[in-house]
Chains A and B, each alone.
Chain A
């Protein structure tokens, strides 16, 4: 098996689904504080109540904390076992996250491709986490691009 042999039927198939415990005020504030956010609408409930959202909301990139059970489907993970690294992310943000929200993430592979550069082949996997809240509203679509450099074909 090699990267090129991964069955493309994997594309678009849901391979992971996880519902998280309700979001708490403390974790929203803790995320913003450790990032160094200073806008009180992400840090203080009183200020947030008077702010544009009428209450505390998550700083948008809070969504990167939410990981599924399974990073990638087995047949893809097997070909990326040499230790891929995070090459980038593309996030489309939906409705804000508020304390008490119950979020669900579903994961799919959206792209598998290879690029050849001066340093050889590079394999890319893009997986999408579709995050919704308890009302079925989209909170975010988080596309993560994982890259791995090519390996020499195995002998035999």
Chain B
């Protein structure tokens, strides 16, 4: 916990460390099943194609959770107070994505920061974008 972001050390404009995640099919399928979303589009390529998708994708609820994972990896002693996301594009299973973010504001009274966070595909598409409020130690 000692190596994480702290309120005093963070400034607007700081980037969160990028995290690269391989969206392996087994990983997506296992987490989709865990959250009760074992639907064809999240569990196999063939099922996804039948629904008109190019292949199996990660559920929005998984991509949102990965952004929370990014925030808490950056600030392990912190608390995510709010996380808002827009699912703009497809996070295709089998690909690699990056979780990125930047600090946009600092609230001295609440010891919180506002962050922009997003998930980017290998092609550079921001398939999920969001904002978060994080209380830092």
Contacts and interface: CB of A to CB of B under 8 A. Distances in A.
A binds B: yes
Interface of A: 30-31, 34-39, 41, 51-52, 59-61, 64-65, 67, 85-93, 145
Given A39-B72, A88-B84, A92-B82, A61 B27 contact: no
B73 to A, nearest CB: 8
Contact of B77 (A36, A52, A60, A86): A52
B42 to A, nearest CB: 11
Interface string B63-76: 01110110011001
28 contacts: A30-B34, A31-B34, A34-B30, A35-B31, A35-B66, A36-B21, A36-B69, A37-B69, A39-B76, A51-B1, A59-B68, A60-B80, A61-B64, A67-B36, A86-B59, A86-B60, A88-B60, A88-B84, A88-B87, A89-B64, A89-B83, A91-B64, A91-B82, A91-B83, A93-B79, A93-B80, A93-B81, A93-B82
Contacts of B68: 59-61
B122 interface: no
Contacts of A87: 86-87
Contacts of B6: none
A69 to B, nearest CB: 13
A70 B55 CA distance: 29
Given A35-B62, A52-B137, 20 more contacts: A31-B34, A34-B27, A34-B30, A34-B33, A59-B65, A59-B68, A60-B80, A64-B61, A64-B64, A64-B65, A65-B35, A86-B59, A86-B60, A88-B84, A89-B60, A89-B84, A91-B64, A92-B81, A93-B80, A93-B82
A37 B30 CA distance: 14
B87 A90 contact: no
Majority secondary structure, A binding face: mixed
A36 B86 contact: no
Closest 4 CB pairs of A and B: A90-B84, A61-B65, A88-B86, A64-B61
Contacts of B83: 60-61, 89-91, 93
Nearest to A94: B81
A36 B62 CA distance: 11
Contacts of B33: 34
A60 B69 CA distance: 9
